[in-house]
């Protein structure tokens, strides 16, 4: 009989690598999504990104679970490894296709400086005004309403 604590300890490095990989993936993806739309559409883009991410998880589990069930199962260790290997290869192929599709994502919007806030270059370096004239106050609700 094997010691369960030892078996779990063998999995910890994989869990750490997975966590690091997810943090290096999901934050830049959100940045790409939000950077590819206008400011007034960021809420819609964020919601669509979250919905698609959730659907990807659901379909990923369904498809990879179906591949596992078709190619292996829980009847023996060999059947489990066979099913899991097939599912991992299908998952890797999906990631490769997604990486190729990511090459066609539009470039991020570039920050522009409006002429009203720009100052002439000082010593060859462009600068911006440090502060607006007067305090910044929130807009009135009537100013935010696009209809009225």
Give the residue extent of every domain in the chain.
4-102
pLDDT class of 25 with cuts at 50, 70, 90:
confident
Alpha-carbon span 121 to 48, nearest angstrom: 41
SS3 for 108? Answer: coil
Q: What count of Cα atoms within 13 Å lies in the side-chain half-sphere of residue 108?
A: 11
Whether this model's pTM surpasses 0.75: no
Helix (H, G, I), strand (E, B) or coil at 61: helix
For 29-43, 64-78, 87-101, which range has the lowest pLDDT when averaged over its residues? 29-43
- Separation of alpha carbons 113 and 54, rounded Å: 37
Alpha-carbon distance values, 90 to 7, 19, 22, 45 (Å): 26, 21, 19, 28
pLDDT of the residue at 90 = 96
Banded pLDDT at 133 (limits 50, 70, 90): very low
Average pLDDT of the residues in 128-135: 46
């Amino acid at each position: 009989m094997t010691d369960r604590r030892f078996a779990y300890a063998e999995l910890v490095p994989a869990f750490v690598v997975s966590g690091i990989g997810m943090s290096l993936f999901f934050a830049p993806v959100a940045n790409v999504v939000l950077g590819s739309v206008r400011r007034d559409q960021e809420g819609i883009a964020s919601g669509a990104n979250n919905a698609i991410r959730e659907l990807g998880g659901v379909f990923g589990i369904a498809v990879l679970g179906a591949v596992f069930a078709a190619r292996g199962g829980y009847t023996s260790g060999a059947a489990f490894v066979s099913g899991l290997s097939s599912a991992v290869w299908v998952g890797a192929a999906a990631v490769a296709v997604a990486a190729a599709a990511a090459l066609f994502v539009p470039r991020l919007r570039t920050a522009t400086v409006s002429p009203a806030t720009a100052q002439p270059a000082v010593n060859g370096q462009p600068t911006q005004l440090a502060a607006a004239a007067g305090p910044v106050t929130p807009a009135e609700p009537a100013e935010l309403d696009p209809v009225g």
